[in-house]
Amino acid sequence: MSIPQSGGGPITSHDQLAQYLADGCKPKESWRIGTEHEKFGYCKDTLKPLPYDGDRSIRVMLEGLRDGHGWNPVLEADHLIGLEKNGANISLEPGGQLELSGAPLETIHETCDEVNVHLREVQDVADKIGAGFIGLGAAPIWTHDDMDLMPKGRYKLMNEYMARVGTMGRVMMRRTCTVQVNLDFGSEADMVKKMRVALALQPVATALFANSPFFEGKENGHKSWRSRVWRDLDAARTGMLPFVFEDGMGFERWVDYALDVPMYFVYRDGQYINALGMSFRDFLKGELPALPGEIPTLSDWADHLTTAFPEARTKKYIEMRGADGGPWRRLCALPAFWVGLMYDETALDAAWDLVKGWGVGTRELMRVAASIDGLQAEVHGIKMHDIARETVAISHSGLKARARPGAGGMIPDETHFLNALHESIETGKAPADELLDRYHGEWNGDLSRIYSEFSY
């Protein structure tokens, strides 16, 4: 979840809303890669989730990273709720999932180095308090009542609102994890093409990274339960966004969409003011019931954009949001997958050619099938395994064309970061399939073994 945005004066013209997005346009040489990944913390002896407070807790983890590894504190109402350093930040998801939002970096080599350093730091602190961390798309055993709600005003409001809409909002908040990548665009047309490819191929990412076949101690019938959760959360702010594929898509059309997303809050002086279900359109007119007579700032607009949760999202960059949290190799593979598709024009064109014939119904069915069957999904004769093979091959060619070397030039490009996905293509198995094999095999139904064998 995002931290409060800052900067930007009052909004005096509707044009400022689209211009805020357009200001994200960058020349290709300035395109960067921002990787975000979440993970569950737990007590090694009890296998219960880390609470916010106590001797073994999320607060102690944040303090250890602050004091031992040079991170600067982020406070809310005297609660330590995050950290920041060198363009990166560590934040808390609602159930205490620890998230690294990485700095904007030039290559996947740098991204993977960042992941390595972060996980080493987390392990250093966790080992001292008897805690562990694991990357999965959904908590495999814990119940809702096992999970503390983190002391952030945004989450208190969201928790209340999620009880009114859909059925899975509170599950998403407390018991799911993702890995995502944030990528730049060069122009409005480039944003549109990338968003269309991102949305259409998000089910392929869901299938390749599916890693949540268990929930509340048993099989749940889905390879990606996290994806299933997102399908029944809040229809006003989630989904595959058919309008993105229509004529007229652009920054202004995204503004129209975002304005119709009901508000959660307004952030003022360190406090989250309840604006649940209210309209940003009313806010623009000075008619927001929560702040009568006040007009929003660009910071309010930036905050509001973070409360829309479709499968791919546009802000001043594009977020790819369809993948489960997972093991270390896939924390590097996810940004590599999308960079290969998005940052080489030939690859982007090839990816669009792959999906441009799919209609609204096909895209939605692919999303559903990916969550249930993963790489074994099939829709209207389209086999997910085949599409995944073609997509990974396109990504590979895109990374090869980028030719960004690593290890002081000893590694010629970034293609090796796709190795985990190539293995999935060869075997037809995503992480969820491997977990199920172990569960029915050597684990003999003992799901607790997932912690010792799959933690970082």
Residue 276 contacts residue 262 (beta carbons within 8 Å): yes
Q: Which of 414, 455, 432 is nearest to 332 (CA)?
A: 414
- Residues with Cβ within 8 Å of residue 37, at least 6 apart in sequence: 99, 100, 115, 135, 177, 178, 179, 180, 325, 331
Q: What is the largest CA-CA distance in the chain?
A: 64
Phi, psi of 413 (to 5 degrees): -160, -170
Q: What is the pLDDT at residue 8?
A: 74
pLDDT digits (tens, 9 = 90+) for 330-351: 999 999 999 999 999 999 999 9
Report d(CA 95, CA 49) in Å as an integer.
9
In a domain, 5, yes or no: no
Is the Cβ–Cβ distance between 424 and 389 less than 8 Å? no
Distance CA 447, CA 158 (A): 31
Mean pLDDT of 27-48: 98
| Contact between residue 322 and residue 313 where contact means Cβ atoms under 8 Å apart | no
Predicted pLDDT of residue 2:
58
Q: Averaged over 385-406, what is the pLDDT?
A: 98
C-alpha–C-alpha distance, residues 237 and 217, integer Å: 30
Tokens of residue 306, six digits: 């973070």
In a domain, 4, yes or no: no
* Amino acid in position 173: M
Residues for the chain: how many in total?
456
Sign of CA dihedral 119, 123, 124, 129: positive
Q: Which domain holds residue 333?
A: 15-454
- Residue 178 domain-assigned (yes or no): yes
At 403 the pLDDT is 97
- In a domain? residue 9: no
- Whether residue 2 lies inside any domain: the answer is no
Give domain status of residue 447, yes or no. yes
6 pLDDT higher than 70: no
What pLDDT was estimated at residue 12?
A: 95
Q: What angle do CA 169, 306, 137 make, to 5 degrees?
A: 45
CATH of residue 355's domain is: 3.30.590.20
Quote the CA–CA distance of 109 and 240 in Å, as a whole number.
Answer: 31
pLDDT of 118: 98
CA distance 253 to 18: 9
Say how far residue 21 (Cα) sits from the centre of its chain: 20
pLDDT of residue 194: 98
Averaged pLDDT for residues 422-440: 98
Q: Which three-class secondary structure state does DSSP give residue 180? A: strand
Model confidence at 57, pLDDT cuts 50, 70, 90, reads very high
Query: DSSP for 37-54?
Result: EEEEEEETTT-PBP-SSS
With a pLDDT cut of 90, the percent of the chain lying above it is 97
pLDDT of 302 higher than 80: yes
Query: Is 33 inside a domain boundary?
Result: yes
CB 241 within 8 A of CB 249: no
Rg (CA), the chain: 21
Cα gap 18→71, rounded to integer Å:
34
208 alpha-carbon distance from chain centroid: 15
For 284-322, the DSSP string reads: HTT--TTSTT---BHHHHHHHHTT---SEEESSSEEEEE
Residue 3 counted as domain residue: no
Average pLDDT over residues 230-237: 96
Kindly state the percentage of the chain with pLDDT values over 70: 98
Each residue of 174-207: pLDDT tens digit? 999 999 999 999 999 999 999 999 999 999 999 9
The total number of structural domains that make up the chain: 1
pLDDT surpassing 80 at residue 62 = yes
pLDDT digit string (tens) for 86-118? 999 999 999 999 999 999 999 999 999 999 999
pTM for the full predicted model = 0.97
Average pLDDT score over the chain:
97
Q: What span, in angstroms and rounded, lies between the C-alpha atoms of 390 and 221?
A: 27
Residue whose structure tokens are 């006040």? 294
